[in-house]
């Protein structure tokens, strides 16, 4: 995807090609997300997990979530299959060039 960017504008790019499925025999569990290394200054990484059986927290900024943060809450017994995950990367207008880099996002089902 090519996006035309003008000087002084924020840039936002989203990807919704990932999915998750869960199964649990417990009530009131949640999914938390964390990242292995903070995002560069002036940038953000947001995650949004859909859920057909619980409450999605919506867009969650995980840019510095070295400690897990809630992304889906109130999950009950049963399964939730083929739910979408949307990642959104945002670079502020003051950010110059950014070197290519990687981050590892960990999703955990927990109580």
Average pLDDT over residues 33-51: 96
Domain assignments of the chain as residue spans, ordered by start: 11-93+102-110
- The CATH architecture to which 11-93+102-110 belongs is Sandwich (2.60)
* pLDDT tens by residue, 61-106: 999 999 999 999 999 999 999 999 999 999 988 887 778 889 999 9
State the Cα–Cα distance between residues 9 and 93, nearest whole angstrom: 5
Q: Is the pTM of this model over 0.85?
A: yes
| 20 pLDDT above the threshold of 60 | yes
Cα 26 to the center of its chain, rounded Å: 24
User: Which long-range contacts link 55-59 to residues 24+ away (Cβ below 8 Å)?
Assistant: 59/88
């Amino acid at each position: 995807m090519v996006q035309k960017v003008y000087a002084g504008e924020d840039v936002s790019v989203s990807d919704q090609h990932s999915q998750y499925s869960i199964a649990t025999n417990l009530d009131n569990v949640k999914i938390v997300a964390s990242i292995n290394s903070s995002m560069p200054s002036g940038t953000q990484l947001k995650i949004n997990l859909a859920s057909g059986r619980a409450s999605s927290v919506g867009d969650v900024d995980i840019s510095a979530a070295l400690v897990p943060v809630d992304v889906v809450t109130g999950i009950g017994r049963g399964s939730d299959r083929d739910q979408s995950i949307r990642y959104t990367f945002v670079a502020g207008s003051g950010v110059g060039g950014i070197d290519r880099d990687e981050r590892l996002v960990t999703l955990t089902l927990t109580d």
